[in-house]
Amino acid sequence: MVNIKSSRIEKKISRLLKAIQPTARLRILFGIGQGEACVCHLEALLGYRQAYISQHLMALRKDGILETRRIGRFIFYRLTNPKLLELIHRAGDIAGIPEKELKALTQMEPLNQCDCPHCNG
Ligand SMILES: [Zn+2]
């Protein structure tokens, strides 16, 4: 017998995990970390093409993972829920990745190739 209520719960969790599952999206989420980042920043940081990043950002926004904030001509993306980063860190921990290496992925340092207000303060 199918328990309707619990299958709804599992679907919700599955939808969330699916939304963050592609490696490109994990890289983007690490890149954003607990801060915020614009497309040009992620382009400089990750080396992906802008159209490719935009496509993932749009999907992440549609899935409720990211929200946006506009400053002038820049649109910044940030996590709707900071716990998402904890979830990804926990998954990395279970996968055997040292905490230090995981933390290093979310360092927000100014990038020379980026002219966003955070890098060009
Ligand atoms: Zn930047």
Q: State in Å: Cα 67 to ligand 1 middle.
A: 17
Q: Using one digit for the tens of pLDDT, what is the confidence trace for 23-78?
A: 999 999 999 999 999 999 999 999 999 999 999 999 999 999 999 999 999 999 99
Tell me if 56 is assigned to some domain.
yes
* Helix (H) or strand (E) segment spanning residue 72: none
Tell me if 2 is assigned to some domain.
no
Domain range for 69: 20-104
Among the listed residues 8, 52, 4, 63, the one whose alpha carbon sits nearest the alpha carbon of residue 28? 52
Residue 7 identity (one-letter amino acid): S
Helix intervals (H) in the chain: 4-20, 23-32, 39-46, 50-62, 83-94, 99-104
Tell me if 79 is assigned to some domain.
yes
Residue 11 has pLDDT above 80, yes or no: yes
Q: State in Å: Cα 46 to ligand 1 middle.
A: 12
The CATH number that applies at residue 68 is: 1.10.10.10
Tell me if 97 is assigned to some domain.
yes
Overall pTM surpassing 0.85 (yes/no): yes
> For the chain, what is the domain count?
1
Q: Using one digit for the tens of pLDDT, what is the confidence trace for 74-116?
A: 999 999 999 999 999 999 999 999 999 999 988 778 998 898 9
Tell me if 13 is assigned to some domain.
no
Q: State in Å: Cα 115 to ligand 1 middle.
A: 6
Q: State in Å: Cα 39 to ligand 1 middle.
A: 9
Residue 99 identity (one-letter amino acid): E
Tell me if 51 is assigned to some domain.
yes
